Structure 1
Amino acid sequence: MSPAVAVDQATQTEASKQQVEKLLGLWHQHYADAASLNERRSAFERLMEEAPGPSRVQIRHVDAGGVDAELIWPARLHHPIGRRALLYVHGGGFYSGSPDTHRALAGSLAKATSADVLLIDYRLAPEYPYPAQIDDTLTAYGWLLDSGYENDNIVIVGDSTGGNLAIEAVLRQMQLKGPLPAAVIAMSPITDLSATDKRTETNEVGDPVLGILALDAASKRYLKGLSPKDPRVSPYYADMAGFPPLLVQVGTADALGDNALHFADKARVAGVDVTTQVWPGMVHQWQLFPFWLDDARKSNQSAADYAMRHFADKPKQ
């Protein structure tokens, strides 16, 4: 990983290593024969079907300004909290993923933050290339504002390509001079679609979840001829001045982790309040698997704590 950022978590335990190995075994099992786009979409859905569903939450399907979504909140309440919200943008290479794949994670964040979570089902590439995904994210954000949530009580969260979309949506909102969220949480974010960091190819050997070749294939479906270095799709090349507080989580085994850390460094230089967390031995998008990885549970709780610190309306502890 980048020497400019210290690893701020304890050394990976042997139990953690074994959990990651088991996860990667399941990943290979589902993706071994998945060559085409539709096969990889199905493989992701099947993998996540093995995960336990969310518990102790309530779920309501909503039309978020034309974007299909689920509103999720802690089950101890009969109705949504209506004051604090996470807008969750799922990962999946721009072409896969859905509320089905991310419902458990979104539900756990709802409980951990005592907030409502709006989990959006944005349009996917290649059927809908750029900018459909960012448009849908901003539409859902606007729906939250129109529904009575104050912008300083909204945190936008995304994993992998969802982290990319979360950041890019806020950059677009800045250009529009609209109200900004309280913070952004980017879990294993893809910040440079050109994947220019030389360490990427080295790290890819130990991280089959999303390496440079898979990123290149996914990006082409999303970009439809747009340059991968265009700041509208790769926040690494964007002007980040004025961006809200940002948490970036990466794992040391994430093939794309160095790209994200270098992006965080650039954002920090631009004056952004950036917090980076580097988790030993974690692969790309490990946060999605709290039911199999102890470190995912810990990192997700850390993300929840970060969100709660940035809500204007602090949840009661």
Structure 2
Amino acid sequence: MSRQQREALDALLRSAPRPETRPGVEEQRRGFAEAMTRPAPDGVATRRTELGGRPALELEPAGASGHGRLLYLHGGGYVIGSAGTHAGLAGELARRTGLRAISPDYRLAPEHPFPAAVDDGLAAYRELLAAGADPAALVLAGDSAGGGLAVATLLAARAAGLPQPAAVVLFSPWADLTASGASMRSKEEADPIFAADDIHAYADLYVGAGDRTQPLASPVFADLAGLPPLLIQAGSNEVLLDDAVRLAARAGADEVEVTLEIAPGLPHVFQHHYGRLEEADAALSRAAAFLTSHLTARSWPAPR
């Protein structure tokens, strides 16, 4: 793929000013929204709605089938971000799969610390099932904290006796709130977005003094048996690289079908840069193909 595009993206991300003192939460939220929001792609209609008792954004690509659904959980360290800031990424994945998507605004820390986000993720998933969604026609995806939350949501669903969906895609999942992966140190210079201190700061706001090894907070420490097929994509230039690697290893050890893709020279959630980075478009196309390939025959109406 394009070395020039990779280098330009790295330079752009490094050019963002880093304040000497960490901004307050509201300032972080405003700055993230201003810098990162991408609208839904052309041909993807959006509508505000509710899911699981929370505001949500529905994204429907032109020509979408009525028989499959995508539940998308946005990233942002459980502190920032929203369905709106991630409308572009969620909408692009919906467009490529041809599935109607819905992305809830789960509650954020520090106002709503762990396990509020997991409770909201489970409530959203439970409502989709209660509304008649066939789990074999339901897929999940999430990025960063939303990736960890997608796994935690399915762990909570398993504990509640709910059926699992057809498949899950995770973009650069944050899956270890203890920040114990070796890449937290070895990739700090290579990562153009985060330093280890940033990860610790988000964990402090989300979990506080609580146990950061509990499985619903850090799925790398969970028993993942019974979860659906996983596709995990990460960039090699991110401090959270080992979260993806260790989560994949945990899934494989627990007999879960898992595919791990590591894109060389790319940052955290590089898929967000679709349309201007060839690797992002290719990764999203593979993610879409993975999800649709796991929608079983019983997900669709029998031919007449």
**TM-score w.r.t. structure 2 length?**
0.92
1:4 corresponds to? none
State which of 52, 58, 62 in structure 2 corresponds to 1:65. Answer: 52
Q: Deviations over 1:25-52 (max 9, x none)?
A: 46x14x5476222222111101124x45
> 1:238-249 to 2 correspondence within 5 Å?
238-249=222-233
CA distance in 2 between partners of 1:171 and 1:23 (Å): 37
State which of 234, 240, 256 in structure 2 corresponds to 1:256. Answer: 240
Q: Tell me the amino acid that sits aligned with residue 54 of structure 1.
A: P
Task: Report how far residue 53 of structure 1 moved.
Answer: 4.4
Supply the RMSD in Å over aligned alpha carbons: 2.0
CA distance in 2 between partners of 1:122 and 1:95 (Å): 10
CA distance in 1 between partners of 2:231 and 2:195 (Å): 22
Q: For residues 282 and 244 of structure 1, do their structure 2 counterparts lie closer, same or farther at Cα, with a shift above 3 Å needed?
A: same
Task: Report how far residue 17 of structure 1 moved.
Answer: 2.2
Q: Tell me the amino acid that sits aligned with residue 136 of structure 1.
A: D
1:13 corresponds to? 2
CA distance in 2 between partners of 1:293 and 1:36 (Å): 32
Q: Tell me the amino acid that sits aligned with residue 30 of structure 2.
A: S
Given that 1:60 and 1:70 are in contact with CA atoms closer than 8 Å, whether structure 2 keeps it comes out as yes
Runs of 4+ in 1 over 6 A off after TM superposition: none
2:31 corresponds to? 43
Q: Deviations over 1:138-195 (max 9, x none)?
A: 1111222122220111111010000000000101111111111111111100111111
2:68 corresponds to? 84
CA distance in 2 between partners of 1:175 and 1:52 (Å): 36
> 1:204-283 to 2 correspondence within 5 Å?
204-283=188-267
Does 2:110 correspond to 1:126? yes
SS at 2:49 equivalent: strand
CA distance in 1 between partners of 2:243 and 2:151 (Å): 14
Task: Report how far residue 243 of structure 1 moved.
Answer: 1.5
Q: Tell me the amino acid that sits aligned with residue 232 of structure 1.
A: L
Task: Report how far residue 301 of structure 1 moved.
Answer: 1.3
> 1:18-37 to 2 correspondence within 5 Å?
18-25=7-14, 28-29=16-17, 32=19, 35-37=23-25
Q: Any gaps of 5 or more consecutive residues in structure 2?
A: none
Task: Report how far residue 291 of structure 1 moved.
Answer: 3.5
Task: Report how far residue 16 of structure 1 moved.
Answer: 2.9
Q: Quick one: percent identity of the two aligned structures? A: 35
Q: Any gaps of 5 or more consecutive residues in structure 1?
A: 1-11
CA distance in 2 between partners of 1:70 and 1:53 (Å): 11
Q: Deviations over 1:253-288 (max 9, x none)?
A: 111102320221121011110111111111112122
